[in-house]
A and B are shown apart, each in its own frame.
Chain A
Amino acid sequence: MTKPVLKVTDITVRFGGLVAVNKAKLSIEVGELIGFVGPNGAGKTTLMRVITGIITPNEGTVELLGKNLEGLAISKRIRAGMALAQQVVQPLREMTLLENVTFACGGAKTLNPITAMCSFNRDEEKDRAMKLLKRVGLQDSANREPSELPLGYLKRLEVARALALDPQLLLLDEPLAGLNQFEAGGLADLIVDLNRSGLSILLIEHNLREVMRICPKVYVQDQGKPLAFGQTDEVMKRPDVVKAYLGGV
């Protein structure tokens, strides 16, 4: 039996007296696309930050492909096989889209400063970056700077840059936030396409319509605690899930 790509066990995060995440559990098998939802304040982003190493939990463990990530910095977690597309887009503003993705493609050359100092050629990485931009539909904007482009393009850039890291697990933090229905639908289709190519994906998202459309399984968290997990259509009908979202309607 293969190990899960990501296994989160009993994660608890306290900020002073506030328990932001309480005994959270999560497991993603190879090739799964899982939605991670919950109302505002559910602790989704906090848990994502624990997974990426930005926040150190008070209790619990995070494993990536069976390896305990405790004590590892963000960069080392990324090198271990995860990639993150952030909710607030953060392109490298002084670089074109192509340069942004080319840089992300150069993981082997930037791992070690000595190698980085002695490496000059970018052709291979540029070719790969161009293919990735094409895959996310940005090939025509490759040589434009982020400041010239709308949010929808930059969200796709985040995804292209994450793919450039050649991850085993793609963490998507509200990629559809701020997009109109047409843009959100297009990006959601891209996420499905990436998943079909074998990539395991954890999608944190507020856009329930798209989550229900593209995610076969869903985790629901409420007030820091795991509330439900299972087939999306079944879970979203559960009275406790509906109550968490709609406040008892």
Chain B
Amino acid sequence: MAYEITLITTMAISVLFALSLNFITGFCGQISLGHAAFMGVGAYTSAMLMKAGIPLILTLPVAAALAGLLGLLVGIASLRVKHDFLAITTMGVVFLFVGIVRQQEFLGGEIGISGIKSSPLGREGFMLFCILLAAIFAAYSLMVKRSWMGFVFDSIADNEDVSRVLGIDVPRYKLIAFVIGTSVAGVAGGLYVQQFRFIGPDSFGFVESVSVLAMVIVGGIGSVWGVIIAAAILSVLPLWFQFIDDYKILVYSALLFIMMRFAPDGLAGLTNRLIKSLRKKV
């Protein structure tokens, strides 16, 4: 049973993490290749506070705030770039994060931080807590998608210049997407620390950024349900098949390539097309 609990908890944390990127990339169309850095900020914040004796639940708002603050700074710096330039800028953030953390003794340097106490909620309780947070953010994402904010995000993702001509304060909305998405990634980082009770700089590097991007693209950019399913499946595949974990960057990059080539709208798009064709036949 302990194995199943570990799997489900890992799934829930990955779903939360993938939905946080979906908010930025899927909803608002802002590509990010460095999203793991924000999870890392949340993870290190939470780990340091937990080592100081603060319970996990109190560390999460601080983790969210610091990750969101970094997200705001990166967002401001990225306002003038878009598409591939934005991807390169955000990729730089994750390399910068790993490079800085490696040099900091108080963050454990290369060795990382270990010896984090297990959750007082117990394994099952912590699993339910992770599921609850993922469910809350999924519900919030669905709500935003239905709202006028979702409508604005759709227009920005479609064409920023047109959005401006229609009176939309594009930088403001983009920053909001960045802050919300990166804050939630920070929370996912806090949960990650509690789950694995060890973190190192490589836990939040480029490979993790590509992995989470693969979850969003395989699920269907912008689709909440698609991303939930893709994140749930892709997060446990490395646990089921050792070779996927060994060749993670290769497997996930190949997956990205295949999806972008053959099904750029992901599982959600494939499902929609299937339903449409079935309806036509009926």
A233 to chain B, nearest CB (A): 33
Binding site for B on A (CB under 8 A): 52, 73-76, 78-79, 84, 86, 90-95, 103-104, 106-107, 109-111, 113, 115-120, 122, 161, 165
A104-B166, A110-B167, A113-B172 known; A94-B158 Cβ under 8 A? yes
Nearest A residue to B176 via CB reads A113
Assess the A78–B165 pair: CB atoms within 8 A. yes
Assess the B158–A75 pair: CB atoms within 8 A. no
Assess the A116–B149 pair: CB atoms within 8 A. yes
A106 / chain B contacts, CB cutoff of 8 Å = 148, 151
10 A-B contacts (beta carbon < 8 Å): A78-B164, A90-B162, A91-B162, A92-B159, A93-B158, A103-B151, A103-B166, A110-B168, A117-B147, A122-B151
Docked pose: A93 CA to B155 CA in angstroms: 9
Docked pose: A103 CA to B176 CA in angstroms: 19
Q: How many residues of B contact A (CB 8 A)?
A: 24
Assess the B147–A120 pair: CB atoms within 8 A. yes
Most interface-central of A92, A109, A115, A119 (chain B CB within 10 A): A92
Assess the A75–B169 pair: CB atoms within 8 A. yes
Q: Which 5 A-B pairs have the closest CB atoms?
A: A78-B167, A116-B149, A116-B148, A117-B149, A109-B148
B166 / chain A contacts, CB cutoff of 8 Å = 78, 103-104, 161, 165
Nearest B residue to A90 via CB reads B162
Docked pose: A122 CA to B154 CA in angstroms: 15
Docked pose: A120 CA to B148 CA in angstroms: 6
B147 / chain A contacts, CB cutoff of 8 Å = 116-120
Q: Does B152 contact A (CB under 8 A)?
A: yes
B144 / chain A contacts, CB cutoff of 8 Å = 117
A94 to chain B, nearest CB (A): 5
B161 / chain A contacts, CB cutoff of 8 Å = 90
A161 / chain B contacts, CB cutoff of 8 Å = 166
Assess the B164–A92 pair: CB atoms within 8 A. no
Assess the A90–B159 pair: CB atoms within 8 A. yes
Binding site for A on B (CB under 8 A): 144, 146-149, 151-152, 154-155, 157-159, 161-162, 164-170, 172-173, 176
Nearest B residue to A171 via CB reads B165
Docked pose: A91 CA to B162 CA in angstroms: 8
Assess the A94–B154 pair: CB atoms within 8 A. yes
A232 to chain B, nearest CB (A): 28
Docked pose: A120 CA to B149 CA in angstroms: 9
Assess the B164–A75 pair: CB atoms within 8 A. yes
Assess the B159–A103 pair: CB atoms within 8 A. no
A122 / chain B contacts, CB cutoff of 8 Å = 148, 151
A76 / chain B contacts, CB cutoff of 8 Å = 169
Nearest B residue to A117 via CB reads B149
Assess the A79–B154 pair: CB atoms within 8 A. no
Contact of A74 among B149, B157, B164, B172 (CB under 8 A): B164
A74-B164, A106-B148, A110-B167 known; 4 new pairs, CB 8 Å cut-off, are: A90-B162, A117-B147, A119-B147, A165-B166
A5 to chain B, nearest CB (A): 17
B149 / chain A contacts, CB cutoff of 8 Å = 113, 116-117
Docked pose: A78 CA to B161 CA in angstroms: 13
Nearest A residue to B171 via CB reads A73
Assess the B148–A84 pair: CB atoms within 8 A. no
